[in-house]
Chain A
Amino acid sequence: MSLRLDLQVISDWIPDGARVLDLGCDDGTLLHHLQQRNISGYGLEIDNSKFADCINAGVNVIQADLNQGLPQFADQSFDFVILSQTLQAIKRPDFLLAEIARVGKQGIIGFPNFGHWQCRLQLALGGHMPVSRTLSNEWFNTPNIHLCTVHDFEKLCDDKAISVLNRSIVNHAHKDTLGTKLLPNLFGEIALYQIKKKP
């Protein structure tokens, strides 16, 4: 089974044997994949509809609301805290980002880049809220309440004394192209960051 490409990037950033926390773990695909490399930990997920998949895959899944932060976990208690495609659905992304940096020695955050040229064009010329392949909901029914751009995210990290160790910005096919390399905020659809709290 091949892994979704953004999850493959995340997986590549995590060394064998690490302890990880996967926030918004869905059906446990990523953790199941990581377990093959002796990477252990927990998945947190608010929706229990795919818990059977997690349990089946031998993934430890904990029902939890990420809007409450991570009070059940001690400082620096995981090697990696992963948040993939969920940041934009959180009530206070700044709070959760701080929590990730507190609990994880490193954090990995993936989100849809709202600065992509198609989004910009839809708002600037179309005059309507953008709807894209990665963000397919309408403004009134979207769970994605806090969309941001690559630029916004990096500014937030800076404000929170969080340093960016690694960045991967890709298009919808999860490929990096010349465009995503030169002008990531314009051509990148999915942004992935490896972060760490500044000492």
Chain B
Amino acid sequence: MPDTIPADSVGLVHPELLHIDAPITLDCGRSLPSYDLVYETYGTLNKHASNAILICHALSGDHHAAGYHSMDDKKPGWWDSAIGPGKAIDTNQFYVVSVNNLGGCSGSTGPLSIDPETHNAYGPDFPIITVSDWVKSQTFLADHLGIQQWAAVVGGSLGGMQAMQWAMSFPDRLRHVLIIAAAPKLSAQNIAFNEVARTAIKSDPEFHDGHYTNHNTLPRQGLGLARMLGHITYLSDEAMHEKFGRELRNDTINYDYGVDFQIESYLRYQSESFVERFDANTYLLMTKALDYFDPAQEFDDDLAKTVAPIQAKSLVISFTSDWRFAPARSQEIVNALLSENKEVSYAEIESYQGHDAFLMPIPRYQEVFKTYMQRVAADCGVL
């Protein structure tokens, strides 16, 4: 809870809702008759609408990327380290738009929403959404806001994949793309982790095949377990050691199956707080969107051919300790861009925080990120 709002914060913000009253046909073949997108904006759109930045969130993220919803908030938005006055994405220069993806559970149409045809919540019957569906749906938000071309589309992890998809699907609608801690597709190991998470959720007796709300319950155990597993893969051994080591919660070993170590307590806390804010069906959907992301598939697995339409200039960033989306995966993206002679820069940031490093204020990362955004600012005429 901030007593006062920090000077480099975007301050108190509130979400806005866009209802799009037009059907959207999805990659899975199904369609939604209409849908809502919830989003936040920070900064001011300039006269030519040339300074707009789109933020793409990761698996469990949402539209609340920066600032506070109220003075009672314990924490600011999920990417507050990067967005704000004077920060890498400087809200004194840019108009930042952050949107909750379709299928999410924070206000955009998703499994928790009411299906206009059945007047019940979609629940597990909500169609599977892909990364390109997200991009397509968000073009309508851009249109609504009067943004013909983003100065940059920026995302980390799954958000990085989405940013990349923007550049491939709508090459003329962005000038720059920042692909951070991402990969051109998931590896078998990545999919395996997702499958364990899904199995945890689906095997919870309270899951009821996804109809848990009809039973006035939640698959707390399953979703919590999925979150614990996810969390472990977002950190590194070193980061966990640094934060917890083998520290005991009560200075003594209990010789029972309760919580002895701080790391156990931390994981339990993470899982318990997560189940209060996140929907299990959305978690299933988001992991599937990740698994299915493989833009090169329709180009005979030729990633260079896949990125060929990209017109945006790119910055790709990876982190040395990220084993979920290792630097080698980012290099695949970079190499594809290089072989197509695209404008691209690539930095591999020394870090110990694992995949989560992309959310951390690591000085070299911030320096490269901020400098690149200054180039974006110069390109879009706000410098």
Binding site for B on A (CB under 8 A): 19, 42, 48-49, 51-52, 54-56, 58, 60-64, 72-74, 77
Our pick among B335, B364, B372 for the contact of A55 (Cβ within 8 Å) is: B372
Does B371 contact A48, Cβ atoms closer than 8 Å? no
Nearest chain-A residue to B368 (Cβ)? Answer: A51
In the bound assembly, the distance between CA atoms of A13 and B349 in angstroms comes to: 34
**Which 5 A-B pairs have CB atoms at the shortest separation, nearest pair first?**
A52-B371, A72-B335, A55-B371, A62-B346, A63-B348
In the bound assembly, the distance between CA atoms of A52 and B345 in angstroms comes to: 11
In the bound assembly, the distance between CA atoms of A73 and B315 in angstroms comes to: 18
Known: A56-B374, A60-B343, A60-B344. A48 touches B349 (CB 8 A): yes
On chain B, the residues within 8 Å of A63 by CB distance are 346-348
Known: A72-B335, A72-B339, A73-B338. A62 touches B371 (CB 8 A): no
Does A48 contact B368, Cβ atoms closer than 8 Å? yes
Binding site for A on B (CB under 8 A): 315, 331, 334-335, 338-339, 341, 343-349, 364, 367-368, 371-372, 374-375
Give 6 new A-B contacts, CB below 8 A, not counting A48-B348, A51-B347, A54-B345. Answer: A52-B367, A55-B371, A61-B345, A62-B346, A72-B334, A72-B339
Known: A56-B374, A56-B375, A72-B339. A62 touches B368 (CB 8 A): no
Does A48 contact B347, Cβ atoms closer than 8 Å? yes
In the bound assembly, the distance between CA atoms of A48 and B368 in angstroms comes to: 9
In the bound assembly, the distance between CA atoms of A167 and B23 in angstroms comes to: 67
What is the interface of chain A mostly: helix, strand, loop, or mixed? mixed
Shortest Cβ gap from A126 to chain B (Å): 39
Shortest Cβ gap from B282 to chain A (Å): 35
Does A51 contact B345, Cβ atoms closer than 8 Å? yes
Does A49 contact B364, Cβ atoms closer than 8 Å? yes
Nearest chain-A residue to B341 (Cβ)? Answer: A19
Nearest chain-B residue to A73 (Cβ)? Answer: B338
Nearest chain-B residue to A42 (Cβ)? Answer: B338
Does B364 contact A48, Cβ atoms closer than 8 Å? yes
Shortest Cβ gap from B365 to chain A (Å): 10
Shortest Cβ gap from A107 to chain B (Å): 18
On chain B, the residues within 8 Å of A52 by CB distance are 367-368, 371
On chain A, the residues within 8 Å of B343 by CB distance are 60
Known: A51-B347, A55-B345. A62 touches B334 (CB 8 A): yes
Shortest Cβ gap from B367 to chain A (Å): 5
In the bound assembly, the distance between CA atoms of A52 and B341 in angstroms comes to: 22
On chain A, the residues within 8 Å of B344 by CB distance are 42, 60, 62
Shortest Cβ gap from B196 to chain A (Å): 33
Nearest chain-A residue to B350 (Cβ)? Answer: A48
* Interface core residue of A19, A49, A72, A77 (most chain B CB under 10 Å): A72
Nearest chain-A residue to B378 (Cβ)? Answer: A58
In the bound assembly, the distance between CA atoms of A129 and B69 in angstroms comes to: 66
On chain B, the residues within 8 Å of A72 by CB distance are 331, 334-335, 338-339
On chain B, the residues within 8 Å of A61 by CB distance are 345-347
Nearest chain-A residue to B336 (Cβ)? Answer: A72
On chain A, the residues within 8 Å of B349 by CB distance are 48
Shortest Cβ gap from B345 to chain A (Å): 5
Nearest chain-A residue to B349 (Cβ)? Answer: A48
Shortest Cβ gap from A197 to chain B (Å): 20
Listed by A's residue number, 7 A-B pairs whose Cβ atoms lie within 8 Å are A51-B371, A52-B368, A60-B343, A60-B345, A61-B345, A64-B346, A77-B339
Does B345 contact A62, Cβ atoms closer than 8 Å? yes
In the bound assembly, the distance between CA atoms of A72 and B332 in angstroms comes to: 9
Shortest Cβ gap from A133 to chain B (Å): 31
On chain A, the residues within 8 Å of B339 by CB distance are 72-74, 77
On chain B, the residues within 8 Å of A49 by CB distance are 364
Nearest chain-B residue to A19 (Cβ)? Answer: B341
Does B368 contact A55, Cβ atoms closer than 8 Å? yes
In the bound assembly, the distance between CA atoms of A48 and B364 in angstroms comes to: 8
Shortest Cβ gap from A48 to chain B (Å): 5
On chain A, the residues within 8 Å of B331 by CB distance are 72
In the bound assembly, the distance between CA atoms of A52 and B315 in angstroms comes to: 12
* Interface core residue of A60, A73, A74 (most chain B CB under 10 Å): A60
On chain B, the residues within 8 Å of A77 by CB distance are 339
